[in-house]
Chain A
């Protein structure tokens, strides 16, 4: 059974940093691209970042470019999102979502999300 479990969310002050993790199991993690998607309270889905299976390709939404970095450790079946210079508008539930083996794949499995609140 495919499982994605996010962790690392919490309350952080504006300008602060946070690192999210996503633990994957039940599939060949090293063969799948991965994504982060966020959802502000009461709002729609916003794609945040993508990393290819081998980390050669990484993409970011303009809203987080230069502030967030994405990484993965295939030996640990884990995905990460380092978030720096956090703003109030980064407050959201952050989901990790599996893509396929290629860069152009739908997000077929999602975690349950971790809440990040940016507030003083």
Chain B
């Protein structure tokens, strides 16, 4: 099983700042099958990034993903008020399709 970890657990920032979220897998993720999701309270998760760096339909270009192998990054270039949420990474290259524990981005 590929174990996925995320850091930091919480990121306290102000609107307009840059957010950098990290995701690390215990083994290389095949073909960079790595996704990022955003979840707001009381809502279902929303797909942001797939294939480590491809934005999902309708996702603003302030969201970008990078990385390969075992180390991946989600960057939000300038935080908007609606971006304060919890972010999860997930590897979907091999079963079980494990999620990381999440990074909460909250308002400083």
Point out residues on A near B: beta carbons under 8 Å.
Answer: 35, 37, 44-47, 50, 59, 61-62, 95, 97, 99, 104-113
Q: With contacts A106-B35, A107-B35 known, is A112 near B44, CB below 8 A? A: yes
Q: List 21 A-B contacts (CB under 8 A).
A: A37-B99, A44-B88, A45-B39, A45-B45, A45-B90, A45-B102, A47-B97, A59-B95, A62-B1, A104-B30, A104-B31, A105-B92, A106-B35, A106-B47, A106-B51, A106-B56, A106-B92, A107-B35, A107-B92, A108-B57, A112-B44
The CA-CA distance from A37 to B31 in the complex, in Å, is 23
Q: Is the CB of B102 within 8 A of A44?
A: yes
Q: Is the CB of A50 within 8 A of B95?
A: yes
Shortest beta-carbon distance from A37 to chain B in Å: 8
Point out residues on B near A: beta carbons under 8 Å.
Answer: 1, 30-31, 33, 35, 37, 39, 43-47, 50-51, 56-57, 88, 90, 92-93, 95-102
Q: With contacts A44-B102, A50-B97 known, is A110 near B92, CB below 8 A? A: no
Interface SS majority for chain B: loop
Q: Is the CB of B93 within 8 A of A104?
A: yes
Pick the contact of A47 from B31, B33, B99, B102 — CB < 8 Å?
Answer: B99
Smallest CB-CB A-B distances: 9 pairs: A106-B50, A110-B44, A59-B95, A106-B35, A45-B99, A47-B97, A44-B102, A108-B47, A44-B101
The CA-CA distance from A106 to B56 in the complex, in Å, is 10
